Every structure is written in structure tokens, then in C-alpha cells.
Amino acid sequence: MKLKHVLIVLMSVVILVGLSGCGGNASSTNSGAGTASSAAPANGGEDVAKFKGETINVLSWEGYQEDEWVKPFEQKYGVTVKVTYAGSVDEMFAKAASGSVKYDLIFMDGGSVNRYYKMNLIQPIDLAKLPNTNQLIANMKSLNDKHVVKDGKTYAVPFAWGSLPMMVNTDKIKEPIDSWNALWDPKYSGKIVTLDDAANQTAMTAMLLGFKDPYNLTDEQLDQVKSKLLEQKPLVRTYYAGFEDGKNLMASDEGWIGFSMGPTMITDLQKEGKNVVEVIPKEGALVWIDNAVIGKDAKDPELVHVYIDYLISSEVQAQLIKKTSYGGVNADSANKLTDEEKKVSHMDDPNYFNNLVYVAFPESFEKRVKLWNEVKAAQ
């Protein structure tokens, strides 16, 4: 999924909540993430019989439709959840846009919602039919809404999220690190590892340069980003392309500091005995939020609403967090986690979102890919 998010950015796309820009938080639970109210019962018993025999066609990322939570739903309602997986943002969009299959439910990063909206591929969601939205992490939802609410209507509901922070080996680097500038510091030359990813590299560098909106850059600002990345290039050990590649570079001490693909990479290294820590730089870090949306031609939108509400329930969200270590969207799910699980998924920290920047739809994927290719090709 991390790879997916790299692709997100690579292509069209877009991947996961400054959560800061996201404002407040609601009433609290010991999760640290605000909830708006107490849990509402997921799905009334009156719905159970009327959906029997129906099928929900789902277009999803791997890891989001696991038997642990899909089977109980199918058994309760007597329905079938038929899942098609996509490997990249562009593949997902192509499947949804082709019309060969009418997908009832589609998962995508929030930055992609606008793309589907403009193509008239999705329909509004009635939040009144989703009582579990009252338990969504308040500042996360607030940030997400800026990208998925169109003309006053909500087109997507968050399902999972993850940040892209810096990773630092504290056995090798003793001084405090608080800025992306560390990835440009000559004293770490040859020990810097960073993503081979056009969109994420452009956005992170734009944040470092102080540009207000890293996803809406002028040509002049893109030129400045390119110059900054060219300045960094001689110091870089390598641009890594996958989750395991990045982890291995840090595990072997080939890399001491780097642009990570997510906190899971760091916690995996810690489990291997490496003293690698996560740093959210003062300039901020990127965060992707994946959303559930309802297809324009969904056969039974009411059933899809019931399924989405189930997927964002604290019970399912806790299972998702345990299985993937992604961030969950239901604040009450933290009450079903161990202290360690809460820490790893950042479900214990209400302020974690406050310095994160939403991975949004950029001004031009083509320009960012061209920029990045020129950086990599430079001698």
C-alpha cells in the first residue's frame, strides 16, 4: 500500500492531514483523537433481511477488504462483497472509468476524489445514514473535507491514513533533527536515502522552500524546487523505489537519514533492533488519507451506505490498524488497541495531525514527473 501511494503521486494521482490544518478536536476519549459522540449502533436490524442475495462490487486497495471483517458482514446481511483490486491510482481510475463493471464502492486517496467528481463517476454520500461518522477523528475529518466536499455535498468518507515523515538513525546522528534541511546537509553526504517519487519529492521540497501550497505551484516555483533537488543530488546515497528497499538501506547502515514511506517502515526497523526514529520536521510532513466513495451507478446505494458505516466502525477500524499499522479514522477504535498498537499507529496522539500536509491533487502531474526525471538524469 505504501508502494501504491508512491504510485499515487507518480501518476496521476496523487497519496496520505495536517491534520493540522484541520482544526479542532472533539470530545475526548483516551484515544487522543477527538470523537464527536458516543458510538451509535452500526446498522439497524431492520436492514438485515432486505439486502439478502445482493452483491456489492468493490474496487479497492489490497488490505482493505480482509476476511476478518468482510465475512461477518456478508453473513449478517446475506450479501456478497465482490472485490477487484488495483495496483496503482491510474489502474484504479481506468477500471472505474471504463464502465465495464459498475463499481458500487471505490477506495481512493482524497486527492483523487476531484478527478472522479469531474468525470461524473461518483455520487454524494448521505452522512445521516452513517452514524459512525460521529466517531471520526475530528481534525482528520476537517482536513479531509476540504478535498472531498463539493458544492456542499460530501463525496467521500475517510477509511485509513498514513504520513510520510523523516527517519533518523540516532546511533549515527546524535544531534537533534527538526528540518528537512538535514537531507541537504553535506555532513551526511553519502548517507542520505530518499524516495524515487516525483510528486512526493516535489511537495516535500516545496514545503522546505516555504511555499504555501505544495500542490499548487507556479512554473517559477517548480524551477526552484528542481534547483533545490539538484543541489541535494550529490549528497544522496540513492533514490529508493520500494518499501523494502528503503528499509534495507537503513537496516544495513547504508543510510543514516531519509525520507520515509511511512511510520511502518520505521517501526519495522525498530523491531529489527535499529535505533531509527520518526521525525515530523518543522516544515511539516505529507499525509495521505484513503477514502470510500460510492460509484455513480451503484445498484443499491442504501446497502453501500450500510457497508461503509460498518467499515468505519470502531470494531473494523481496530482490526485494520492491528493488521496494517495504518492510521485508523475512528477515534474510538483506539480503545480496542494495546498501548503499543496505539503508539505505532499514532492513535494515541491527538496532535499528530497538526503539522501534516494533505497529499492533494497537484497543478500538473506531467510537470512534476518531467521535473523529477530531469533531476535524476542530471550529471
| Alpha helices in 233-351, H assignment, sequence order | 243-251, 263-271, 301-311, 314-324, 339-344
Distance CA 343, CA 2 (A): 19
CATH number of 55-161+288-348: 3.40.190.10
From residue 361, how far is each of 71, 146, 312 by CA, in Å?
A: 34, 12, 24
| pLDDT string in tens for the chain (379-residue length) | 444 444 444 443 333 333 333 333 333 333 333 333 333 334 445 568 899 999 999 999 999 999 999 999 999 999 999 999 998 888 999 999 998 999 999 999 999 999 999 999 999 999 999 999 999 999 999 999 999 999 999 999 999 999 999 999 999 999 999 999 999 999 999 999 999 999 899 999 999 999 999 999 999 999 999 999 999 999 999 999 888 999 999 999 999 999 999 998 999 999 999 999 999 999 999 999 999 999 999 999 999 999 999 999 999 999 999 998 899 999 999 999 999 999 889 999 878 888 899 999 899 989 999 999 999 999 8
The CATH architecture annotation of domain 166-279+360-377 reads: 3-Layer(aba) Sandwich (3.40)
Question: Which residue in 129, 128, 115, 127 sits closest to 158, CA to CA?
Answer: 127
For the chain, residues classed under CATH 3.40.190.10 are: 55-161+288-348, 166-279+360-377
* Letter string b/e over residues 249-266, b meaning 16 or more CB atoms within 10 A of that residue's CB: bbbeeebbbbbbbbbbbb
CA–CA gap between residue 299 and residue 114 (Å, rounded): 22
Residues in contact with 22: Cβ distance below 8 Å, sequence separation at least 6, in sequence order: 138, 139, 140, 141, 142, 143, 144, 353
Q: Look at the block and give the residue holding cell 510520510.
A: 164
Residues contacting 91, CB < 8 A, separation 6+: none
